[in-house]
Amino acid sequence: MEQVNPWNQVVSLLTHLAGGAESPAEKAWHAGCRVRPAGCADKPPEPHLGRPLPGCGSKITSIERQDDASALVSWCDPTMCHYVDQVWIQVTARHGGYCALTGQRIERGNAIFKPRARGQKRPANCDEMVLAAALAQMD
């Protein structure tokens, strides 16, 4: 069963109750956090866009390359999670989104790094992506 972050639910409900229309960035944030605004239960979820709201505090604090196909990433997001030395692996992007490191657009088929997920228990930031080219530039 997928867990929903209570903080994101509160923010979503407050936005809806305030009558504020969501910007595209807010919609992306809700899609990325697997939270939809109230009243959207009958709509299919939007694809994850991987770009949080500006100023939300989500950031990569360090990256240590292990080999060509993996890296240890320290990820911090005050509303979702904090991971120290999380293993990220290189894969091919299954959908579009944005690089968590540079903000560049990621297209389906690009070489990316993402958090390694095993079994039913997936990390809260499992949909985040970093362009492999951006990591290569850091080396």
Q: pTM score, two decimals?
A: 0.60
What are residue 105's DSSP bridge partners? 98
The radius of gyration of the chain from alpha carbons, rounded to an integer in Å, stands at: 15
* Mean pLDDT of the region 126-130: 91
Q: Give the model confidence (pLDDT) of 80-114 as tens digits.
A: 788 989 999 999 999 999 998 899 999 999 999 99
Mean pLDDT estimate for the chain: 74
* pLDDT > 50? residue 137: yes
Query: Token pair 């968590």 is at which residue?
Result: 100
**Pairing mode, if any, of strands 59-67 and 81-92?**
unpaired
Q: Using CA atoms, how far apart are residues 6 and 25, in angstroms rounded to an integer?
A: 20
| pLDDT category of residue 40 using cuts at 50, 70 and 90 | very low
Q: Give the model confidence (pLDDT) of 48-67 as tens digits.
A: 444 444 445 568 888 898 89
Q: Using CA atoms, how far apart are residues 130 and 133, in angstroms rounded to an integer?
A: 9
CB of 53 closer than 8 Å to CB of 66:
no
* Token representation of residue 45: 């979820």
